[in-house]
Structure 1
């Protein structure tokens, strides 16, 4: 290995005690990671600094807008490279963590695509991450099987197409050091999956395919494009073989959709409406602006205001550029033994997918195998071909102010309490190693905790009036503390004095409380939580 490319540093304890580490973290794989980090690490750091500088400008009063210096790209007549046949029909995609049994069930669900999620649906303990990459290797080899409680699970003969979502550019993998610094988590997940599976997937025409999360600018899209070019060259894979779908789940990215596609034009297959993270990003980006306070989360729907505009713009631009517009997640999940709850869940999913297919989306996400037939039936009825890319939406004229228009509604004590409950409940499970958590018949991931704590911060920061049974009341740090204490008492009563995970709830409550009452809204609650997760791990 060249002297200017230090070997990743791993503890022998890690290799001995983390299952699959010796299989995943081979010398050759680590050398590939080292090459990626050496080539792109400093550039990634500069991009994160650029994010912070833009946020500072917005905090001082500047609002997001279309970029004047990229007008020619937005107005130009051009299209991205053709989509490979394996990705032509994506009418139903299922997402989930990289846990072995859940991967097998998702691959066998009947969905066209399974997104194996190393990001928001996976708590990134090192054991979870390494196990996920070991599962990808077994998928490559046709040996992805699982036996538990006398039951045996294996991938069927016609599995869903696999797309991998690495962690976001802002995350680090603290358990692998290069030159004394943690390796980028995004490069770690991308690099390992490509090194172990890229050639095999390329040989069959079924990959390698990726979802790229939380991009905020076309400069970040250019970064990924250069990573793809470098990695393809190193791995002996033809340029343009890697195909990526970008999640438009940040407010700044919604203003740069054309530019993001342009930067990735040889590697892009589509864009996706990451609606839950997008709500969080809206709050975070406009955090200093009282005109953009949002009501209770339940009142922030896709049918109007900034969410409806964002969805319309995504479809319009994607179809103009010849790529897929993928709809968002339907998080409702069935409840075993409760037909009434199931009927309600199926109805919500059906209505959501009817809205999406009517807008022109080419497919959408579900969170549970039982919901695949529901979503598929909607798209089968309304979409006669493999997609709707040839269905233009150029009549929609979208001005910048429309992408910023806030939803109107009430802020209620019930909404405050629900945000506290969901944020603490989810984060406690996350600290236990679970990234996909059913809460109130919804499959929640990290975006749930982010929205919940960001809303609490926004309401405190701007002195929002909360509707209570005794009249309006301003949400303050002191009142939030009282409500948080009441929630913890309720949780501990439920767990009982010997509840094994009591400490996780206490840690989760502290993290949520600190994030909701910080002077400046923290960028991601998962960053301080990751330090706790590693300590517990």
Structure 2
């Protein structure tokens, strides 16, 4: 039975155990206020994404906006950065389950991003328990005893600075309804965390800090700014208390970085290169066109073509505005008992972080605690100061054409098979309630699965030639998929594997390219 919290506010998921501590009438009324004020605009902006997609399909290319040229030309900077965010040389990310939060806070990274988005499958239990865990971090009650091993976990004396990533504008939280409508996952995640913890974070010398995902325009950034202003007003906090870093992980947003910083200038501290989602966005927004037919996923490396250009443009833009330019993810994870494999993986991480630090990034991301010292050594060596916002790259001229330049490379049967394996296995894990999934010595989140299924969709739709001369027809895809599924059924059989396989093939072979894998998948959890 739905739980009626107040007039026209209903919780349709179970409120069990400690859930009532975060799903209080006051907190849910706060979320409901945000929904009533901002949801209509959110839906308008999602519709605007589709209108822009139609223009891309008709031949328009992403470009810098002529109507905001004055913002790009003017001299202005973002508001001052809080003291505990001035050194962000290594950040770690992960889901919001209790043990992982504790380990991430204790791992030696400067910042931990607790992720309600791509690293969390948004089951009702996961999102509610995540809010409980984060509330416990600020109340001093964050401890854990592993049920299997009996090992105890507790937060250490110098934890990483905590930032929260709510879900993107497109995802819903169907277990909370306001006036008969499900609320946006973004407002649910942000609202509950801010309501319960904003003042506690400030009392302990930090603040309510966020990462914002999947933005596609400065107008979407403007909406987040309006949400922040209203939240601060309702909580009795000064404007500028909330601070955010925006992930530049969609190709339209990369052409509006100045404008995004400007819209959020009272509340923003930096931008981040969300590299995997950026590849996904490139295919999703431009991949219906033969001139943007992508090579194997492994060929699209960060230092080259459109990825390299946008990384440098991000550094230049951020540093001109006094903001941080954060580098991308190192997803490698250690392999137990295989020292040679680990050394090779760590060498790749070191080279990637040397590229980032040398280019001018102020910090970077890792997915596993064992990579923290690897990345830290590089940034300590190449960035002795707290950051390098004084590295302006003023003479750099990155053009729109460079930001659309495709990587060179071929398409291979091995690339098709890898996309099938990783895509299906990740989708299976997501349906089983896990969002951060170790696969083939990498820690994967939803972005990788998105690349896998959109790339296969593109290759089939455009009849892409493989390096052996064959064309990836739907028949060849089904043949290779059937072979891969035989191995997956042998090693990972479960009902959810079959559901994942059906969803994945349906999305690859559909005439239409679905915006997000997680939208139809959410209906299955």
TM-score by length of 1: 0.95
Distance 2:461 2:207 in 1: 46
User: Given the alignment, which residue of 127, 136, 139 partners 1:138?
Assistant: 136
User: Given the alignment, which residue of 478, 484, 489 partners 1:487?
Assistant: 484
Contact 1:488 1:506 in 2 (8 A): no
1:161 aligns with 2:158: no
Distance 1:494 1:460 in 2: 27
1:529 aligns with 2:518: no
CA drift at 1:341: 1.3
Per-residue CA distance 1:483-509 (angstroms, 9 max, x = gap): 2222221111224xxx5xx11111111
Aligned to 2:276: 276
Contact 2:113 2:162 in 1 (8 A): yes
CA drift at 1:204: 2.7
Aligned to 2:3: none
1:8 aligns with 2:4: no
Structure 1 residue matching 2:421: 3-state secondary structure = helix
Aligned to 1:233: 233
Structure 1 residue matching 2:401: 3-state secondary structure = helix
The within-5 A match list for 1:302-381 is: 302-381=302-381
Distance 1:430 1:202 in 2: 34
CA drift at 1:10: 1.6
The within-5 A match list for 1:191-340 is: 191-340=191-340
Distance 1:380 1:252 in 2: 33
Per-residue CA distance 1:173-212 (angstroms, 9 max, x = gap): 0111111111000000000000010111122331100000
CA drift at 1:238: 1.2
Aligned to 2:72: 74
User: Given the alignment, which residue of 481, 492, 509 partners 1:517?
Assistant: 509
Distance 1:440 1:494 in 2: 14
Contact 1:7 1:34 in 2 (8 A): no
Contact 2:324 2:389 in 1 (8 A): yes
CA drift at 1:288: 2.0
Distance 2:24 2:437 in 1: 32
The within-5 A match list for 1:37-186 is: 37-148=35-146, 149-186=149-186
Distance 2:204 2:393 in 1: 34
Per-residue CA distance 1:20-43 (angstroms, 9 max, x = gap): 321111111111011010010111
Distance 1:52 1:210 in 2: 27
TM-score by length of 2: 0.97
Moved over 6 A (4+): none
Distance 1:209 1:319 in 2: 20
CA drift at 1:8: 2.1
1:441 aligns with 2:441: yes
Structure 2 residue matching 1:246: 3-state secondary structure = strand
Structure 1 residue matching 2:435: 3-state secondary structure = coil
Contact 1:484 1:509 in 2 (8 A): no
Contact 1:7 1:30 in 2 (8 A): no
Distance 2:289 2:485 in 1: 31
The within-5 A match list for 1:404-443 is: 404-443=404-443
User: Given the alignment, which residue of 494, 505, 520 partners 2:497?
Assistant: 505
C-alpha root-mean-square deviation of aligned residues, in Å? 1.0
Distance 1:511 1:284 in 2: 18
Distance 1:506 1:207 in 2: 44
Distance 1:7 1:86 in 2: 40
CA pair 395-6 structure 1, distance change in 2 beyond 3 A: farther
Long gaps (5+) in structure 2 = 1-5
Contact 1:8 1:177 in 2 (8 A): yes
CA drift at 1:96: 0.3
User: Given the alignment, which residue of 466, 470, 475 partners 2:472?
Assistant: 475
Per-residue CA distance 1:444-482 (angstroms, 9 max, x = gap): 000010000010011011110013xxx311111122112
CA pair 6-390 structure 1, distance change in 2 beyond 3 A: farther
Distance 1:321 1:310 in 2: 16
